[in-house]
Amino acid sequence: MAPSIPLPAALAESLVLTRPGLLKRERTRLQLVQAAITVFSARGYAGATVQEIAAVAGMTTGTVYNHFKTKEEVASAVALWLADTLCQRISDSQQGVAEGAQRMAIGIQRYIWLAQESPAWALLMLDVSAAAPALVLEIQHYALADMRLAIRQKSFRVPSEAAAMDVLSGSVSQAMRSVAMGGLPAHHGRDVATCLLRAFGMEAGAARDVACRPLPPFPTLADASVAPAARASRRNKSNG
C-alpha cells in the first residue's frame, strides 16, 4: 500500500515504537491507531474503512468496535497520537535550548512546518482538535512550560497566561490552516513566530533575532531515549 499522504519522516519513525508496560487493551488500542495511520496515509480519511484498519492491524472488525464506536473516534485517537508525538519530538529537539523565548519560537515554527510538510495530516489534527479538548490540553502542557520559562526570564510580559495561550493557540492554528491551503512563502512560520514573540512583549529586533535562528534538527529516536524524564519534569513545572 503506497502512502499518498505520508507523515513526515521525523514523525513516521515513531510509529514503530513499542511502549513497555502497557496493558493488553492499551496495546491493542495502540496497534489499531498505528494501523489507522497507515490506512489514512494510503487512502485519506474519507477513503479509509474500519474493515481495512482491522485488516492492517491483523484483527477483526469487531475488535475495532470494541475500542472505537465510529471511524470518527478512530480519527480523534490518531490526531491525539499525532499531536502528542509532534510535541515530544519538538521537545526532544529543544534539549540544550535554555531560553524560553527560543523554545517557544521553535514550537511555533514546527507546528507550521507540519502544515508545510503534510497538509492533510495538519488539517486532520486541526479539525479534530476543535471537538477534542484532550488534544488541546496535551499540546498546552508543552507550550505552557516554555511560556512560563520565558516569563521567569523576563523575555515575555503578558497580562495573563490564559490570554497569552489563547493568542498562541488561535494564531498557530490559523497559520497552520493557511499554510496547508497553500500559497504562502516558506518563511511564513518564522514571520508568525516573530509576530507572536512581539505580542508576548519582546522588542521587534529581539523577536526577529530569536525567530530567525536555525531550527534544531529532530534527533534520532535512539539519541532522544534519555528525553522522557526531562519531558516529565517540564510537564510537572507547567502544572505548578
Other CB atoms within 10 Å distance of the CB of residue 193: 28
Domains of the chain: 9-238 (1.10.357.10)
Question: How many angstroms separate the CA atoms of 116 and 189, rounded?
Answer: 9
Contacts of 57 (CB under 8 A, 6+ apart): 31, 32, 34, 35, 63, 64
Q: Please list the ranges in the chain whose pLDDT falls under 50.
A: 1-3, 226-240
CA 12 to chain centroid, in Å, comes to 13
What does the pLDDT look like over 151-187, one tens digit per residue?
A: 999 999 999 999 999 999 999 999 999 999 998 999 9
pLDDT given at position 231: 45
pTM above 0.85, yes or no: no
